[in-house]
Structure formats: C-alpha cells, structure tokens
C-alpha cells in the first residue's frame, strides 16, 4: 500500500511539472492548459488538457511550440496522459480510452474535435508494439495502432522524438539522460527567447534537480518548488557571469530599451550626447530649445 502511494505521488509530481511547463509555454499563444482536469462532474481526471481558443486550426506560432503528433492534428481539444516512471501498458491504454470516451460524451464533442495522446518518457517495449499493433509513423517517436479500438490513441515516445525546436520542451522529460541533455542544452542556447514569465526558471529548475546531487528530491516536488530552485540558479548565474557575456548577442536597441532616456545620457559629456546626430536633428533640437525659451 505504501509503495502504491509513493507511485501515485511520483506520477502526480511529474505530470504537474509537464503541465506547468506547457502552461508557461502555451498560454501566451492562446492555448489553455489545465492539469488534473475532471473529465466529468466526478473523477476520473485526465493528466493534462490543451484547449485551442479562438482559432479553427493551430497557428504557425502555436505549432512552433507543440511537439510532433500534437501539432499535426486539427483537433482543438487535446487530452494528454503522461507516464514518467511507469511504462505504457494495457492499463494505461484502457485509462486513456476511458478519458477519451467520457470527455467526448460529457462535452458532447464529435470524434474529430478531440484527440488523446499517451506521452511516455520511456520507449515502449517491443512486446507492447506487437501486442497492440502500434507502428511508427513517418514522424520518429509517433506511434499509431491499426487496431480499431486503439486508433484514437496516439503514443508519443519522448526519447525518440527529433531534436527539432518544437520538440525540445517535452524532451526535457525523456527518460534517457542523453536526450534530456540535448534538449536542455539547445533550450538554454536559445536563451533570451525563454526569459518571459516563469518558463526559464522552470526549465532551469528541472535541469538542476536532474543534474545535481546537491538538490534534495522531495517525494512531492511541486512546480513552485522547481521554479524556486531555478530562480536561485538563475540569480547565481547572473551574479558570476561577466557583463560582456550578459550582453553577448543582444542588439544595441535591445540593450538601450532597458533604460529610461535620462539613464541613457547619464555620465556623458555634452559633445558625447550630441555625437552621431545629423545636421537636421541638431536643428530640430535647437528649434525645440528656442520654443521652450519663448514660452517662459
């Protein structure tokens, strides 16, 4: 009983972390993300629900953030059953099928408006593929079954997804460390594109707990715990990195946009403030000053 309780906590922990990452990633592009979403007025609860709002199809911006398989469906309701420590088996498929069926029934949605995915950190076994007739599609890591009862369920193996930018976020949860490390490395390299909201801190926190023995892994590691770890790592990193490294890759206008006009001119001599201005710009400044004098 105690082992079952621990397994339940572990499952809950990891799908909530994935859900939080998807929330930070997709909310700005008008995709609602909900975790532990009630399929009906009473349990069961699906791990994650993605809901496309206001658009008949995924926009290019949305598709750039969605992994293979999900980005390739037209359905606006995406149910996700996520398995981090547990292998995909018949019990998992039965559970996902139940979510798929009851959600459509409760929301009165047609088949084409809902798509259910099983995301697996581990690659399913050869026995699983043979038993349930799952075959890899033209997209690596995306598996569909020829069995009529399972044709509505797509299995995504995070270890086998390509390293395309749109797959990197979910690949942080792949079971193979090699695949994790590639995803984290490429995401950190994209740097400034991740700094909005809490996404960067969440990714940094995940990287820290997966790569450092100094971080104690609590049984119930919440998204807030992980983001706090990421915040501490970010602050430490920013304190030790040289100024020239902080500014590397930024355009001058991006740097200057962080300062108020008076801050940009602070410490400059008069001739330095005027350097680079054209004769027409100088005339405009002179005219502006004369107008101020005439108003006094």
Q: Which residue has the tokens 């532990």?
A: 36
Predicted pLDDT at 209 = 79
> Would strands 142-145 and 153-157 be described as parallel, antiparallel, or unpaired?
antiparallel
DSSP code per residue over 187-250:
HHHTGGGG-STTHHHHHHHHHHHHH-TTS---SS--HHHHHHHHHHHHHHHHHHS-HHHHHTT-
- Which residue, among 53, 11, 49, 80, has the nearest Cα to 220 in the 3D structure? 11
**Residue 268 pLDDT:** 65
* CATH numeric code, 10-183: 3.40.91
pLDDT computed for residue 1 by the predictor: 40
Select from 46, 108, 111 the least CA-distant residue to 79.
46
- Provide the pLDDT for residue 11: 42
Sequence-distant (6+) residues with CB within 8 A of 274 are: 282
Quote the CA–CA distance of 40 and 87 in Å, as a whole number.
Answer: 26
pLDDT, averaged per 10 consecutive residues of the chain (296 residues), comes to 44 77 92 84 77 94 96 96 93 94 93 96 96 96 95 96 95 94 88 65 82 58 70 54 55 62 62 68 73 71
The domain spans of the chain are: 10-183, 190-258, 267-295
């Amino acid at each position: 009983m105690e082992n079952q309780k621990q397994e339940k906590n572990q499952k809950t922990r990891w799908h909530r972390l994935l859900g939080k990452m998807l929330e930070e990633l997709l909310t700005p592009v008008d995709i609602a993300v909900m975790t532990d979403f009630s399929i009906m007025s009473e349990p069961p609860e699906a791990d994650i629900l993605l809901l496309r709002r206001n658009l008949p199809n995924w926009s290019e911006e949305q598709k750039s953030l969605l992994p293979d398989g999900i980005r390739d469906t037209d359905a606006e309701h995406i149910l996700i059953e996520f398995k981090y420590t547990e292998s995909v088996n018949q019990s998992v498929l039965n559970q996902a099928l139940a979510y798929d069926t009851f959600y459509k029934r409760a929301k009165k949605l047609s088949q084409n408006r809902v798509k259910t995915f099983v995301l697996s950190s581990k690659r399913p076994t050869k026995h699983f593929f043979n038993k349930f007739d799952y075959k890899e599609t033209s997209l690596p890591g995306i598996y569909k079954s020829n069995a009529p009862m399972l044709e509505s369920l797509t299995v995504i193996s995070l270890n086998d997804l390509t390293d395309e930018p749109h797959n990197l976020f979910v690949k942080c949860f792949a079971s193979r460390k090699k695949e994790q490390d590639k995803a984290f490395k490429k995401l950190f390299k994209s740097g400034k594109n991740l700094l909005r909201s809490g996404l960067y801190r969440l990714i940094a926190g995940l990287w820290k707990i997966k790569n450092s023995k100094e971080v104690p892994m609590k049984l119930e590691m919440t998204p807030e715990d992980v983001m706090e770890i990421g915040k501490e790592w970010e602050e430490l990193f920013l304190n030790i990195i040289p100024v020239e490294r902080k500014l590397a890759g930024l355009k001058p206008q991006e740097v200057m946009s962080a300062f108020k006009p008076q801050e940009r001119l602070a410490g400059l001599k008069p001739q330095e403030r005027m350097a680079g201005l054209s004769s027409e710009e100088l005339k405009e400044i002179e005219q502006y000053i004369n107008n101020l004098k005439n108003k006094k």
